[in-house]
Amino acid sequence: MVGEALLRTVTTFLAGIVFLVSLSIWFRNLKRNSQLRAVPTVGFSNSILSYLSFLRFNLDGFRMLKEGYEKTKPGLFKIATFRTWMVFSTSPELIEDVRKAPDNVLSRRRPAEEVLQTDYTLNYLNKRDHYQGHVILSQLTRIASTTFEDICEELVLTLDDNIPTTGKEWVEVPALEMTQRVICRVTNRVFVGAPLCRNRDYQALNLNFAINVMKFATVLRLFPDFLKPLVTRTISNLPSQFQREMEFIRPMYEERLAKMEELGDEKWDDGPNDMLMWLMNESKGVEKSLEGVARRMLGVNFAAIHTTSSTMTQVLYRLLANPEYVEPLRREVEAVVAEYGWTTDGMDKLHKIDSFVRETQRLDGLGIVVLVRMALRPFTFSNGITIPAGTYVAAPVGAIHTDEEVYTNPDEFDGFRFARLRESSEGLAGSKHQAGVTSPAHLSFGHGRHACPGRFFAATELKVILARIVTTYDLKLEEGKEIPRDLCFSSGRFPREAKMGEEDMTPCDSGRGTAWKIKST
């Protein structure tokens, strides 16, 4: 009884807070709305009714953005979000305006802080320091040939573990779960090396951390700032995960630190070359501590694992839906491997594999908005329209990727589209059609200064995994099954496991239905 009364009080209290927050947002919105009159709206522009449009955006965002894009191209349009207006660029020029704007005018951090509640979730010791982006772009992009050998070795082992073929029998494999395990392990071979990358508990920690961050951020967004520290202290399970990550990397961290102290100013020439080492080397101040490095490691895993594994799942789904691609892909890989072996040089020659990955990203990219920025002060686009501080800007990536003025037959999956474009381009121009390369027409990794720093690594990983799979296995969709439709919510788009309900979002829980079968070739 006491429990029930308490629950009621707490619920009322929470409802009250949500109501007050909404009200104050509504008043702010009202003011901004009048300043945004020049920008056409998709949905209702009235502040209260705009919440209905926000609701629609959460459930049917892709079509809503497509509608706005087609009506207003080459201009701007806006839609309501929970807190403010989001203004969309529909032409390459307006996207370039966003790309070029300095961070103190259009901020990349602020939307991330708000959406992911990074101050309370990733909770870096020095919250203003973002050195890991530089580490990823500079170190991870230049994969050394020995590192690539490690990746290939780990890939063979983990595919073997996760695809339990027994020769010529078909076996069912859950695509999403399999790719999550494979990518977590292969990526962590480069982040922390073997044997830690093979530790199931370490893998589960890194996979689940990302999901817990998303969940907790969703809850926390409902609270006003002054209550967030309290809510975090009371219900967040993230601190215990920081603790566990610290315990996992402590032995390596301490051993390396001791060695570095012993060497003093001398260089450690044959020292370890992995993400842990780069983070230890490049961090400053509090970030150099075990705790600082452990949190960054979780943060880097957060950015790297689900993005890549979801994309890999989409790639496999596209292949299963279009089995006629298997043979040509297989032939390409076999020819290249015969000449170059499994090397980075060989990877560069896999134009069809590369194109297949890029085409999948074009149509199935993980989000329907990219280049999300917040105006910290009034910002004027090159078409003369000014938006007030506090407004969000973004690019409607799904609509751009399916615009017939940008791509011929835009709705058709054409796996070798980019390979053909590459072959027909003169000289070095062909390289702009490679997976990992961004432009205003290809925004899966964002574009410009803040484009995903892990994109070249991700492209390499996706390519080598696809190349391995087509040359090692036969695969087919299980009879009578279809590729599951993406799970779309708000600005996100995620592949699902076949035949699954809510629990799809939880990685690493076996025993769910599967839609495809696989056997050794």
Please enumerate, by residue number, every residue annotated as part of a binding site.
Answer: 452
Cβ-based neighbours of 296, under 8 Å, separated by 6 or more = 124, 132, 279, 283, 287
> Of ligand HEM, ligand NAG, none, which one does residue 472 interact with (CB within 5 to 8 Å by kind)?
none
Give the residue with the Cβ less far from ligand NAG, 278 or 392. 278
**Binds ligand HEM (CB under 6 A): choice among 452, 467, 488, 515:** 452
- Out of ligand NAG, ligand HEM, none, what residue 452 binds, judged by CB under 5 to 8 A for its kind, is ligand HEM
Q: Does 444 bind ligand HEM (CB under 6 A)?
A: yes
Q: Which is nearer to ligand HEM, 173 or 305 (CB)?
A: 305
**Among the residues of 170-237, which ranges form H helices?**
175-191, 200-220, 228-235
Contact 297, 276 (CB under 8 A): yes
Comparing every residue's Cβ against ligand HEM, the nearest one is: 454
By CB under 6 A, tell whether 133 contacts ligand HEM.
Answer: yes
* Residues 393 and 379 sit within 8 Å (Cβ to Cβ): yes
Which residue in 58, 141, 281, 343 binds ligand NAG (CB under 6 A)? 281
CB closer to ligand NAG out of 274 and 364: 274
Nearest in space to 457 (alpha carbons), one of 319, 275, 249, 297: 275
Per the DSSP assignment, residues forming a β-bridge with 492 are 367, 489
- The DSSP letter of residue 513 is -
What does 446 bind: ligand HEM, ligand NAG, none (CB cut-off 5 to 8 Å by kind)? ligand HEM
- Class of residue 249 by CB neighbours under 10 A (exposed 0-12, middle 13-18, buried 19+): buried
The item of ligand HEM, ligand NAG, none sharing an interface with residue 281, based on CB under 5 to 8 Å by kind, is: ligand NAG
Among 195, 267, 384, 411, binds ligand NAG (CB under 6 A): 267
398 lies in the binding site for ligand HEM (CB under 6 A): no
273 contributes a contact to ligand NAG by CB under 6 A: yes
Minimum CB separation of residue 245 from ligand HEM in Å reads: 16
Does 174 bind ligand HEM (CB under 6 A)? Our answer is no
Indicate which of ligand NAG, ligand HEM, none lies near residue 268 (CB less than 5 to 8 Å, by partner kind): ligand NAG
By a kind-dependent CB cut-off of 5 to 8 A, residue 304 interacts, out of ligand HEM, ligand NAG, none, with ligand HEM
Assigned token pair, 382:
């090159």
Please identify which residue in 143, 205, 277, 395 interacts with ligand NAG, judged by CB under 6 A. 277
Give min distance, CB of 190 to ligand HEM, in A.
9
Spatial contact of 133 and 233, defined as CB atoms under 8 Å apart: no
* Options 124, 148, 342, 457; binder of ligand HEM; rule CB under 6 A: 457
Two structure tokens written together for 217: 């951020």
Closest to 493 (Cα-Cα) out of 401, 394, 402, 367: 367
Q: Which long-range contacts (CB under 8 A, 24 or more apart) does 143-147 make?
A: 143/190, 143/344, 143/457, 143/460, 144/273, 145/343, 145/344, 146/273, 147/190, 147/273
Select from 151-159, 239-247, 313-321, 444-452 the region that touches ligand HEM (CB under 6 A): 444-452
200-220 helix and 109-116 helix, angle to the nearest 10 degrees: 100
Query: Is 458 one of the binding residues for ligand HEM (CB under 6 A)?
Result: yes
> Nearer Cβ to ligand NAG, position 131 or 242?
131
Choose, by CB under 6 A, the member of 268, 378, 382, 424 that binds ligand NAG: 268
d(CA 133, CA 449): 11
Q: Which of 298, 419, 451, 498 binds ligand HEM (CB under 6 A)?
A: 451
Q: Least CB distance from residue 462 to ligand HEM, whole Å?
A: 7
Instruction: Report how far residue 86's alpha carbon sits from residue 80's, in angstroms, rounded to the nearest whole number.
Output: 6
Question: In Å, what is the CA distance from 216 to each residue of 54, 116, 211, 294?
Answer: 21, 9, 9, 19
What DSSP string describes 97-164? Answer: HHHHS-TTTEESHHHHHHHH-TTTTT--SSTT--HHHHHIIIIITS--HHHHHHHHHHHHHHHHHHS-
Cβ contact 289:125 at 8 Å: yes
* Residues lying near ligand NAG in the complex (CB under 6 A): 260, 267-268, 271, 273, 277-278, 281
* Residues lying near ligand HEM in the complex (CB under 6 A): 108, 132-133, 136, 140, 300, 303-304, 307-308, 311, 366, 370-371, 444-446, 450-454, 457-458
